[in-house]
């Protein structure tokens, strides 16, 4: 009953927020709301209970598995599947895999000098060519000619957390602008949560009753359309398999959307930090969409659908701590030397946590977006990037953020990525449309206030 009341509040939130915005005193009211929520958010120090962190099967490969040009598997090697619950691990099954690596032509990028930041930790650098007079490519790869001869694993990119969840006034939304805006502005990883029902994959946040962004097919069709118009860009997709569904459920959407024609198949499983090809070679191959899945990936059957956690580790999930510690949380128990041998993602999407009876609710902390997505300062993306670089002696590969278009200036999240990549960012290139970007945060504030009111109603026994 209480959960139903809460969902009702979520449903009416956008309407009430819109009506409030139409009042003559809306600007001053929303300013007061913003300041009030900022005070509340700053005082929250709770962290997510370990029980709320997603758990599932984590794969451990004892031997490298090589794939053919067509993605088929040859030979055999043991793959250990570990099911994690809390801090206990137990081996549950074994599988077999293998292969042959293929070669591709490499685009040449501009030659740069390896540099280090103030803490003597190396940030991303381009790989010099062997030639005395290197060929300089004037066609940018992911926006920068310098990236063409860098390994995919030697680049930091902005990742849109829950990319499809764009719905003004809905407390479960995570972005203000749609996927094509995101890609136009420079987002190069698209992360989302998928739910499978009756053979259809929909993009929903926790529950399809809370926020349903439509079918995976429609979303991927938009991504494929953009990619065909931008042949020099490499896009990464990270699927959150919320229902731990069989990966075969996802193939139809990739095929019907046309994105399967662009999907990258790795030459080996798993791909270590130094095994990834350059962006130029990926682009020349025509297979420019790299697809990862967090749980239940089966690369024996679907070599292109890459297992995330055997190749990427993550910092704490759904963070509520503004210090954003840069420690490994998933996969659990990963040794430092193993973490240093793979890519990693910095989760920098700040949340507020509400506990109502048995319901645990996290919502984006929109009150602090200007600080969370900033390039400098406490709690900022820039600060976390520096801390991560210091901790691991290399920069994060993926910077996962909410409302990427907000920050202490337009494009602040992209400036952070550019600094890590040792390139210059054009601040005039971001973000989306002014009207779309300027209205979402106050409405998000209003909805959050409605949520706080709803909490009081629910706790009073309504």
Active site residues per annotation:
161, 205
The single-letter DSSP state of residue 316 is: S
* CA atoms of 310 and 294, how far apart (whole Å): 10
Strands 398-401 and 343-347: parallel
Residue 347: what are its φ and ψ, rounded to 5°? -80, 110
Report the alpha-carbon angle 241-245-250, nearest 5. Answer: 75
- DSSP assignment of 140-163 equals -BTTBGGGTTSBGGG--EEEETTT
Sign of CA dihedral 144, 381, 385, 375: positive
Residue tagged 């709690």 (tokens): 379
Structure tokens at 103: 């070669």
Q: What is d(CA 403, CA 373) in angstroms, rounded to the nearest whole number? A: 8
Structure tokens at 20: 């409030």
C-alpha to C-alpha distance for 125 and 147, rounded to whole angstroms: 9
Tell me the C-alpha distance between 331 and 294, whole Å: 10
Q: DSSP for 364-417, please give it.
A: E-GGGHHHHT-SSSTT-HHHHHHHHHHHHSS--SEEEESSTT-SSSTTHHHHHH
Name the strand (E) or helix (H) holding 192: strand 189-197
Going across the sheet that includes 57-61, the strands are 57-61, 78-85, 88-96
């Amino acid at each position: 009953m209480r959960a139903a009341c809460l969902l009702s509040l979520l449903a009416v939130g956008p309407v009430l927020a819109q009506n409030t915005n139409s009042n003559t005193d809306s600007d001053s009211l929303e300013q007061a709301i913003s300041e009030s929520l900022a005070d509340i958010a700053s005082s929250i120090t709770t962290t997510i209970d370990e029980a709320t962190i997603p758990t599932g099967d984590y794969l451990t490969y004892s031997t490298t598995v090589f794939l053919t040009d067509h993605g088929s598997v040859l030979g055999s090697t043991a793959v250990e599947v570990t099911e994690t619950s809390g801090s206990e691990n137990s081996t549950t099954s074994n599988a077999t895999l293998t292969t042959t690596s293929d070669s591709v032509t490499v685009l040449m990028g501009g030659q740069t000098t390896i540099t280090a930041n103030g803490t003597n930790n190396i940030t991303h650098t381009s790989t010099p060519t062997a030639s005395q007079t290197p060929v300089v490519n004037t066609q940018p790869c992911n926006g920068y000619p310098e990236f063409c001869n860098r390994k995919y694993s030697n680049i930091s990119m902005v990742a849109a957390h829950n990319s499809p969840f764009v719905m003004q006034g809905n407390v479960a939304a995570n972005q203000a602008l749609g996927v094509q805006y995101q890609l136009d502005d420079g987002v190069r990883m698209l992360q989302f949560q998928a739910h499978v029902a009756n053979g259809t994959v929909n993009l929903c946040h926790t529950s399809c009753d809370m926020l349903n962004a439509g079918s995976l097919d429609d979303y991927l069709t938009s991504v494929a359309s953009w990619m065909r118009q931008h042949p020099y860009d490499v896009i990464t997709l990270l699927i959150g398999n919320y229902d731990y569904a069989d990966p075969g459920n996802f193939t139809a959407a990739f095929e019907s959307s046309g994105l399967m024609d662009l999907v990258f198949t790795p030459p080996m499983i798993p791909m270590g930090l130094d095994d990834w090809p350059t962006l130029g070679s990926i682009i020349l191959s025509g297979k420019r969409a790299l697809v990862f899945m967090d749980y239940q990936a089966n690369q024996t059957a679907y070599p292109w659908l890459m297992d995330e956690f055997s190749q990427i580790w993550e910092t704490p999930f759904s963070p509520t701590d503004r210090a954003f510690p840069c420690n490994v949380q998933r996969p659990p128990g990963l040794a430092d030397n193993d973490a240093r041998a793979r890519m990693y993602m910095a989760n920098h999407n700040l949340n507020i946590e509400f506990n109502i009876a048995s319901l645990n609710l996290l919502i984006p902390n929109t009150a602090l977006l200007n600080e969370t997505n900033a390039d400098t300062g406490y709690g900022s993306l820039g600060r976390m990037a520096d801390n991560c670089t210091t901790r691991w002696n290399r920069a994060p590969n993926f910077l996962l953020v909410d409302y990427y278009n907000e920050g202490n200036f337009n494009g602040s999240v992209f400036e952070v990525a550019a600094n890590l990549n040792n390139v210059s960012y054009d601040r005039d290139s971001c973000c989306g449309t002014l009207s779309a970007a300027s209205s979402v945060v106050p409405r998000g504030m209003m909805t959050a206030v409605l949520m706080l009111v709803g909490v009081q109603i629910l706790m009073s026994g309504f």
